[in-house]
Amino acid sequence: MNPNQNPNPNAPKDASGEPSEKKPRNNRRRKSNKSPTATIEGNEPWQRDMKKAIEANQKMHKDRLNRSNLLDQTSKGKIKITPLGGLGEIGGNICVFETETSAIVLDVGMSFPSEDMHGVDILIPDFSYLRQIKKKIAGIIISHAHEDHIGALAYLFKEMQFPLYATPLPLGMIANKFDEHGLKGHKKYFRPVEKRKIYKIGEFEVEWIHITHSIIDASSIAITTEAGTIIHTGDFKIDHTPIDGYVTDLNRFASYGEKGVLCLMSDSTNSYKEGITRSESTVGKTFDSIFSKAKGRVIMSTFSSNIHRVYQAIDYGLKYGRKVSVIGRSMERNLFTAIDLGYIELDKSIFIDPHEVNKYPDKDVLIVTTGSQGETMSALYRMATDEHRHVKIKPTDQIIISAKAIPGNEGSVSKVLNFLLKSGANVAYQDFSEIHVSGHAAQEEQKLILRLVKPRFFLPVHGEYNHITKHKETAMQCGISERNIVLMSDGDQIEVCSKYIKKIKTVKTGKVFIDNQINEQIADDVVIDRQKLADSGLVMLVIQLDKSDHKLISKPKIISYGLVPDRDDKAFSIEMEGVIDQFVANAKKELLENARALENEVRQVVRKHIYRTMKKYPTIVPTIFMM
């Protein structure tokens, strides 16, 4: 440093303590979305042509990336989109598309209850809004045959019937459900559709586009109205090596994208997953490895609708000389529906009935079964708890659970895993080996659809709020303006046209509780009562009063459940007897002569005492006899 210089005491110092020179900020970093301008000097013919080509290519890129500019800006058409389920949750998918005079409903699915919904097997959407617009509904359209997309159809058709449009496999599986529910006559509403063909349904033109997913014959849906085209991906992944060879029909997405798409609605389930989702065919390598080492029976459990997963397991079972037993009503029904409809090819002679399993050496048996979600009534659960009539788990068994726990089912899956491991069997689950792949698109697949479709507006769907928020970020990376993206919740009604997208109102949504044993609804208050009983317990009081002098004839009988441990039950009863004795002694004569009013007052007194001493609010059931 020059000693004659007068250093700035505030100047930044370098590592030696000397003032460092301030480096100029790099202002050349590009910050705008504008195309850089070519600076070609000279006026030679080739230079003029070079400049012309650069400008033409820049315009071409701008045009091809903004095909939604082709939308008719003068159109007065509008469409309303109302999700009634499937947002803020996993499952229960149902969405209404509506013009002024016509409506269609996409999917009618079920979801699973939480663990505190005692006695509830499934949840179905509240159909209140469908009742309001019933006269406008021109049809139901189905994307694919997973339970969270078709599982509530039978309950809807018990009340309201509409033409039902779907490709053959979903219709085949829906037919099975209708048979179960005594709705065979409602199959007259079935309308089988062909992919790449446009169907006029009310004011809508609808096309089913082939997509790969974790079930055969899945579709994305293109819906065209006067307002423009909306593409709903349904559940999807981009599998380039699917088991049946039928890859995603990317050409149709690109074709719509070139014409200009008003709005894209896309699967958000795997929005946090970077890269791409592995192909279904990769599971086969793991199956091969497990089957080659198995010395006893192989028992494979997965979703009953995952036909290609089941098919792969059977294929490797046959490779190693095993007979196949399909156990579980839904598994058997779905597999043989797929065989009968020609989606997979298997000789039925390879199958044996469950009661025949023990006639064969263990090394010659493959069991394909339900129960991958830990359902207590499933075949795998009953095997694990030694309750199955034909199959008991052995230490030599190789168990494969080829499915991921649906959110909310983790506890049930863990429970059945514990039973299986305690039996001594070898268990392969997703934490132990690569025996499951997702059926949902990761970020790079989501980007591919966004780039092919190039929509003006974007609605991320299928998933919890954090999933759709992450999908929004991905869409913005792909050039969708933030103001053109709406994050919906169930019940939000969105209006979209060529000029805008906005929320216009909220409609009633919710869940209806279903008991699968009787295929009927459980009233909301019944479920609430069950939750309360489970959380805080029950106290029953039996009191006998003398009519003449209004005194206790004998000690009150106290019965409690779920409130105090058995060892404290006697002390609790004595305590409650004292509370009731004191109350009766101090009660007014008018109250003691009115049995109903007396019961209510006893209930309040006991409830307050228990809360004061135990901080609990049990259900109190007093019964008073005037004798």
Torsion angles phi and psi, residue 33, rounded to 5: -90, 5
Any known ligand binding at 119?
yes
Report how far apart the first and last C-alpha atoms of the chain are (Å, whole number): 110
Any known ligand binding at 515?
yes
From 107, 126, 267, 397, active-site residue: 267
Is residue 135 helix, strand or coil?
helix
DSSP 431-498: TTSS----SS--HHHHHHHHHHH--SEEEEESB-HHHHHHHHHHHHHTT--GGGB----TTEEEEE-S
Chain position carrying tokens 């899945």: 218
Ranges of H-type helices in 479-619: 524-536, 569-586, 589-592, 595-614
Any known ligand binding at 550?
no
Any known ligand binding at 306?
yes
Any known ligand binding at 186?
no
Catalytic (active site) residue 118? no
Catalytic (active site) residue 308? no
Any known ligand binding at 436?
yes
Report the alpha-carbon distance of residue 308 to residue 281 in Å, rounded: 9
Any known ligand binding at 560?
no
Chain position carrying tokens 């989109």: 81
Residues 6 or more apart in contact with residue 27 via CB below 8 angstroms: none
What would the two tokens of residue 319 be?
Answer: 């490779």
Any known ligand binding at 61?
no
Which of 234, 253, 249 is closest to 142 using CA atoms? 234
Q: DSSP letter at 12?
A: P
Type of residue numbered 139: G
Any known ligand binding at 268?
no
Any known ligand binding at 266?
no
Report the alpha-carbon distance of residue 168 to residue 145 in Å, rounded: 10
Name the strands in the sheet holding 520-522, side by side, starting at the edge strand that comes first in the sequence: 122-125, 511-515, 520-522
Any known ligand binding at 609?
no
What is the CB-side half-sphere exposure of residue 560 using CA atoms within 13 A? 26
How deeply is 520 buried, as exposed, middle or buried, from its count of CB atoms within 10 A (0-12, 13-18, 19+)? Answer: exposed
Any known ligand binding at 439?
yes
Which of 374, 330, 368 is closest to 350 using CA atoms? 368
Any known ligand binding at 232?
no
From 186, 308, 388, 440, active-site residue: 440
Report the alpha-carbon distance of residue 602 to residue 623 in Å, rounded: 10
Is residue 173 helix, strand or coil?
helix
Any known ligand binding at 305?
yes
Report the alpha-carbon distance of residue 321 to residue 297 in Å, rounded: 12
Torsion angles phi and psi, residue 365, rounded to 5: -125, 135
Task: Indicate the annotated binding residues for Ca(2+).
Answer: 119, 121, 515
Task: Indicate the annotated binding residues for Zn(2+).
Answer: 144, 146, 148-149, 213, 235, 462
Task: Indicate the annotated binding residues for substrate.
Answer: 304-306, 436-440
Task: Indicate the annotated binding residues.
Answer: 119, 121, 144, 146, 148-149, 213, 235, 304-306, 436-440, 462, 515
Active site residues per annotation: 267, 440
